Amino acid sequence: MTTPSATSVYIHFPYCLRRCAYCDFATTVARDIPRDAYLAAILAELQLRARDLTPAPIATVFFGGGTPSLWGANNVGAVLAWLDRWAGLPADAEVTLEANPGATEFSTLAEYAAAGVNRISVGIQALDDRRLRALDRVHDSAGALGALKQLGELLGAGRLRSASADLIFGAPGQTLADLQADVRRVLDHGLPHLSAYSLTVEPGTPLHQRVERQVQAAPDEDLQADMLAALPALCAPYGLSRYEVSNYAQLNHTCRHNLAYWTGRYYLAAGVGAHGFLPAATPGWLGRRYGNARSHQKWLSAVTRGAFAEELSEDIDAETHLAERVLTGLRLTEGLDLEALRRDVGEPLSQALLQRAHKAIARGRPLQVSGTRICVPGEALHLLDALVLDLV
């Protein structure tokens, strides 16, 4: 691999005030959140993992969840201070915090900015109360607009470098006109980044149960495809361009942390249910992927006694890494970088991939080889899963 150690860090905060109907993440609904105990446990896990890593200046930090905006600015600041002491947190590092409207009362967004967060991603999902209720969101449209107003003000005052909003499309009753209105109302607040995800029915979620019982209709996949195709034109008047299937940004406002995932970089992860990718301890492997326990009691018990709580641990070889890079790289507008892939997995595997791409193109598959990149044109993104299978 081209990266000597972890230069990105993911911190998972699992607690939420309510579980959303579509969510299958490692989350825990709690009214009495153990904020200080969770901080101590996060720092304990980071200390354990740091023993096997060579410190390198940290380029990105991402606080995800769950609802990290419930943790408190002091606790987020304490994690950042530890990372700075351990490996260094340069002034140009990207530090993102996920926030939900109606779930930031423990600290204001401005306080998180003062604690070292310079990019906030707010989970709007919809600006229609009926759709928000169908998704079991904790906030209403007024709360969402209030959060957007705060973000716009923090950006305008220079207290944040960037900000993003999440939207879900294909929710019950949503039309293409509804999506257009949501995008316009979000971006009117001056946000330079938008993430727009199609609603998916994940097994084990409340949404899945409702669909199974026919209480709620499954998302209309044809309508979702139309919405996906419409999004670039909806974002363009605001200077946002698609750089990944679900993500749009103005120049210099792409999410550097997510790009580290999508381009195969190492990253250190800590917290309940967190997944990381670190250098392999065994020669001949490209890295080790691990996943922490999704039970907050199991994870908390392990790290407080000085042990890891991993439910997944696998060494990643070159072929596995290539397959993962194809899966993530084809999602990027700029495509999969074959030259970077060659440096990581070697010439034979990268050349074999290029040959498969040319064969797929000869069969009429909508792939493009341009220079050292394999790309999927925007109009074919709805075929992405099938195109990945063509190559791996």
**3-state SS, one letter per residue, for the chain:** CCCCCCCEEEEEECEECCCCCCCCCCCEECCCCCHHHHHHHHHHHHHHHHCCCCCCCCCEEEEEECCHHHCCHHHHHHHHHHHHHHCCCCCCCEEEEEECCCCCCCCCHHHHHHCCCCEEEEEEECCCHHHHHHCCCCCCHHHHHHHHHHHHHHHHCCCCCEEEEEEEECCCCCCHHHHHHHHHHHHCCCCCEEEEEECCCCCCCHHHHHHHCCCCCCCCHHHHHHHHHHHHHHHHHHCCEEEECCEEECCCCCCHHHHHHHCCCCEEEECCCCEEEECCCCCCCCEEEEEECCCHHHHHHHHHCCCCCEEEEEEECHHHHHHHHHHHHCCECCCEEHHHHHHHHCHHHHHHHHHHHHHHHHCCCCCEEECCEEECCHHHHHHHHHHHHHHC
382 vs 60: CA distance, rounded Å: 30
Read off the tokens for 13.
Answer: 């905060």
**In the chain, domain spans:** 8-262, 319-391
Q: In the structure, what pLDDT confidence band is assigned to residue 2 with cuts at 50, 70 and 90?
A: very low
With b for 16 or more beta-carbon neighbours within 10 A and e for fewer, the 245-264 pattern comes to bbbbbbeebbbbbbbbbbbb
**Contact, 275 vs 291, CB < 8 A?**
yes
Each residue of 63-84: pLDDT tens digit? 998 889 999 999 999 999 999 9
67 or 85: whose pLDDT is higher? 85
**Contact, 367 vs 329, CB < 8 A?**
no
* Arithmetic mean of pLDDT, 227-246: 97
67 or 233: whose pLDDT is higher? 233
- Distance from chain centroid for Cα 253: 15
User: How many CA within 13 A on the CB side of residue 9?
Assistant: 30
Each residue of 320-371: pLDDT tens digit? 999 999 999 999 999 999 999 999 999 999 999 999 999 999 999 999 998 8
The confidence score (pLDDT) of residue 212 equals 75
Beta carbons within 8 Å of 307's beta carbon, 6+ residues apart: 48
The confidence score (pLDDT) of residue 181 equals 96
- The CA-based diameter of the chain, rounded to the nearest angstrom, is 59
Place of tokens 């759709």: 131
The confidence score (pLDDT) of residue 23 equals 56
Beta bridge partners of 11: 63, 270
Percent of the chain with pLDDT over 90: 71
What kind of fold does domain 8-262 have according to CATH?
TIM Barrel (3.20.20)
Each residue of 154-213: pLDDT tens digit? 999 999 999 999 999 988 889 999 999 999 999 999 999 999 998 876 777 666 677 677
The confidence score (pLDDT) of residue 357 equals 96
Read off the tokens for 1.
Answer: 């691999």
Read off the tokens for 211.
Answer: 């669909």
The confidence score (pLDDT) of residue 4 equals 46
- Distance from chain centroid for Cα 147: 20
Q: In the structure, what pLDDT confidence band is assigned to residue 284 with cuts at 50, 70 and 90?
A: confident
Instruction: Pick the closest to residue 60 from 165, 155, 162 (CA basis).
Output: 162
Phi–psi pair at 53, nearest 5 degrees: -120, 145
Place of tokens 């060494």: 315
Instruction: Pick the closest to residue 199 from 207, 209, 189 (CA basis).
Output: 207
* Burial bucket for residue 106 (CB in 10 Å: 0-12, 13-18, 19+): middle
* Direct distance between the N- and C-terminal alpha carbons of the chain, in angstroms, rounded to an integer: 20
The confidence score (pLDDT) of residue 21 equals 60
Beta carbons within 8 Å of 391's beta carbon, 6+ residues apart: 326, 330, 353, 356, 357, 360, 374
pLDDT at 5 over 90: no
61-70, 149-158, 215-224, 235-244: least confident range: 215-224
pLDDT at 218 over 50: yes
Each residue of 100-145: pLDDT tens digit? 887 555 568 999 999 999 999 999 998 988 888 877 777 788 889 9
241 vs 234: CA distance, rounded Å: 10
Beta bridge partners of 120: 97, 163
* Arithmetic mean of pLDDT, 72-99: 97
